[in-house]
Amino acid sequence: MSEEENNRLLIVSAHPDDMEFGCGGTVAKWISEGWEGSLLICTDGRAGTSDPEMKQEDLADIRKKEAIAAANVLGIKDINFLDYPDGQLEDTPDLRENIIRAIRRVKPKIVFTFDPYRRTHNHRDHRNVGQATFDALYPYARDYHHFSHLIDEGLMPHIVEEAYSWTDDPDVWIDITGSIEKKFEALREHVSQIKSPDELFARIKERHAEQGENAGFKYAEGFRVHKFRW
């Protein structure tokens, strides 16, 4: 496939369920239309419980299985885990290198991730993943001499055309009317995290209906689109 025919997307997520909440409807829609999806999850999700009896290692294993099942619902087969400790993720050269490695391996046209500058409070892991991803996109994944040891792994520079960040201030809305139920089907796989799915999904539907009003859709997911002009 030539770069002109590139239909690959990459989602860079902090925790095992972030992708489904942030862009699950859009990813389901695009994959059904022929896109190829890859998912990079940066933390192991081990802190995602209020149960003092739950061992963190056990929860990490549970959440990894849930993430794989949910991604498969959406049509994502390429799923990778960095396994940084949940809640302790920092914007480090090591994190940036791992994201650059994923970008150069997948060679996506579009990357989905967090908006690191949301006006409302954002989980620290989310902020750090968003910032590290944008730094990886520009200029590090693009430039030969940044992280040049990756060349020895056969990972040549790659230019991503656009990044879609889920945010408080979207400027693009994607119609997910036909894929919102697939989003919910994927979220249902996260049994360790979602205890009252019907109540949660009602709130999510209300939010996506509000977003859809901006673009004339019944349900929509909103993003801020960042175009990279080289």
Q: 12-49, pLDDT tens digit by residue?
A: 999 999 999 999 999 999 999 999 999 999 999 999 98
Kindly report whether the global pTM for this prediction surpasses the value 0.85: yes
Exposure class string for 31-60: b at 16+ Cβ within 10 A, else e: beeebbbbbbbbbbbbebbeeeeeeeeebb
Q: How many CA within 13 A on the CB side of residue 106?
A: 29
Q: Report pLDDT for 4.
A: 58
Sign of CA dihedral 211, 125, 119, 100: negative
| Residue 214 pLDDT > 90 | no
List the beta bridge partners of residue 40: 12, 80
In angstroms, rounded to a whole number, what is the distance separating the alpha carbons of residues 201 and 206?
Answer: 8
- The residue type of 73 is V
The predicted-structure confidence for 110-169, as pLDDT tens digits, reads as follows 999 999 988 787 899 999 999 999 999 999 999 999 999 999 999 999 999 999 999 989
DSSP string, 15-77: STTHHHHHHHHHHHHHHHTT-EEEEEEEE--TT----TTS-HHHHHHHHHHHHHHHHHHHT--
**What are the pLDDT digits (tens) for 195-211?**
899 999 999 999 999 99
Give the whole-angstrom CA distance, residue 97 versus residue 132.
9
Residue 165: strand, helix, or coil: strand
Residue 86, token pair as written in the block: 């949940």
